[in-house]
Structure 1
Amino acid sequence: MVLSKRVARFNRVATNQVLKHIAGWAPGFAIVVHKGRKSGREFRTPINVFRTKDGFVVALTYGPDADWVKNVLAAGRCTLVFRRKKVAVHGAELVHDESRQAMPVPIRQVLGLLDVHDFLLLKRD
């Protein structure tokens, strides 16, 4: 049960309006700066993100069909505003992992309850 489109719509209209002010510096959050694959317009989307050995991992709680995910995959790169710093990332890779191994243990458990098993891996430039 990936989060529903109704929840996504609410988050886009309400929650993201608050998160966009804190996601660039709050632990466990970042803002992904990406270009629209059709419009070429710049978008800024707050996300939950976790560090990996060579970059970052994002749990795709709305699934891999979210527009921001498609934009990042199409470009192959994006910028993260992570702890008040801009971090260029590349090599965007969609991963399906039932065991959620790339995530911290407590987060794995929450994602298991939500039945999330798709992730986006991003490597630092």
Structure 2
Amino acid sequence: MALPAAAAVVVVVLYLLLLGWGMLMQVERLSDWTRRLTKRVNPYLRVVAGTRPGMLYFNLSALRHVGRRTGRTYVTPLSAYPFGDGFVLAAAYPHVDWLENVLAAGECTLRWNGDEYALDRPELISRADAMKAYPALVRPFLAGAAGQNKFVWLHRAAKREVG
């Protein structure tokens, strides 16, 4: 049974606030907790991820990628920030599947602010370089994040159809 829309919004906001608190406080067990909770919250986040309303909360975007083992297409809601010729994304905890999938495939698609972007050439970058992409308000959440050591820079693909 689906939650009413207002309840879903409350659940999502509480999840994101707790995630931010855990990152600021460097909670060591955050990754296990985050992994379990993310599986439950992502279906609600997917509804607004990549849309203009979704941009109101930390640039919530939708990353479409192919599973490295299954070949199945997945859509993962996450924050993405413009950087150079593409976008920077942060892994919320170590060994995230979406990052492993994107690195294996070498390409993905990002829905950001209502537009679709074909991305390729994933490049792991340092925290210092990644921070250049993030607004000052967001940096404290990432600066002390426990386990959040991976940032990927995805470049816009030269010529590839999105869809």
Scaled by the length of structure 2, the TM-score of the pair is 0.69
The structure that has the greater radius of gyration is: 2
Q: Report 1:31-70 matches (<5 A).
A: 31-63=62-94, 65-70=95-100
Offset at 1:113?
3.4
- 113, 135, 140: which is aligned to 1:104? 135
**Higher helix fraction (1 or 2):** 2
Contact 1:98 1:117 in 2 (8 A): no
> 1:22 corresponds to which residue?
48
Contact 1:32 1:78 in 2 (8 A): yes
In structure 2, runs of 5+ residues without a counterpart are 1-25, 158-163
> 2:32 corresponds to which residue?
5
Q: Which amino acid aligns with 1:87?
A: Y
Offset at 1:32?
0.6
- How far apart, CA to CA, are the structure 2 residues paired with 1:54 and 1:16? 27
- How far apart, CA to CA, are the structure 1 residues paired with 2:106 and 2:42? 24
Q: Which amino acid aligns with 1:85?
A: D
Contact 2:34 2:93 in 1 (8 A): no
Offset at 1:106?
1.7
- How far apart, CA to CA, are the structure 2 residues paired with 1:81 and 1:101? 21
- How far apart, CA to CA, are the structure 2 residues paired with 1:45 and 1:72? 11
Contact 1:111 1:117 in 2 (8 A): no
The Cα offsets for residues 21-55 of structure 1, whole Å up to 9 and x where unpaired, read as 00121210111101111110110100111111211
Identity of aligned residues (%): 33
In structure 1, runs of 5+ residues without a counterpart are none
**Higher strand fraction (1 or 2):** 1
- 99, 102, 113: which is aligned to 1:83? 113
The CA RMSD over aligned residues, in Å, is 1.8
